[in-house]
Amino acid sequence: MKLALAADHGGFSLKEAVKGWLLEWGHEVTDVGTHSTDSVDYPDYVKLAAALVSRAEVDRAVVLCGTGIGASMVASKYPGVRATLCHNIYTARMSRLHNDSNVLALGGRILGEDLAREMVKVWLDTPFDGGRHKRRLEKLGEIERKILEGREP
């Protein structure tokens, strides 16, 4: 799978760990930064990963900031991106099963590495369940199209 990674300084350390796991598991990784713990603004990096997902240049992305909140907000602005902020294995699994999440947002100051590793693995390995959830995602897509066309739903 082709994956993008992005983080600000608050998510940098965990991003580096995630990158190692993804490579260990055989994935292709595009790391768009940041590349240090120097203070930066999360939108500057998360937007790069979200754009790659939006343009289908990667399959999915993992984005991080201190809490994951800002990263999820930025990523969700991009057409076709379904960013989900997860804090445990259950939400990581359900984000894929029911929401076909293509961007996982994590809090670098919230999660320990052991839990984050399991969450990323579950998120990568869990398929979309389809069925009634597909209908709901189609409705989400329709809302997005109307907004992009300048028509509010």
pTM: predicted TM-score of the whole model, two decimal places: 0.96
Output the CA torsion sign for 3, 9, 14, 16: positive
Helical (H) or strand (E) element with 85: strand 83-85
- Check: CB of residue 122 under 8 Å from CB of residue 91: no
65 carries an active-site annotation: yes
Q: Is 61:4 a contact under the CB 8 Å cutoff? A: yes
Of the candidates 27, 35, 86, 98, the residue annotated as catalytic is 98
Instruction: Give 70-101 pLDDT, tens digit per residue.
Output: 999 999 999 999 999 999 999 999 999 999 99
Catalytic residue among 65, 86, 87, 133: 65
What are the pLDDT digits (tens) for 23-73? 999 999 999 999 999 999 999 999 999 999 999 999 999 999 999 999 999
15-24, 65-74, 103-112, 130-139: range with lowest mean pLDDT: 130-139
Domains and CATH numbers, the chain: 2-128 (3.40.1400.10)
Q: Are 71 and 65 in contact (CB under 8 A)?
A: yes
Per-residue pLDDT for 117 more than 70? yes
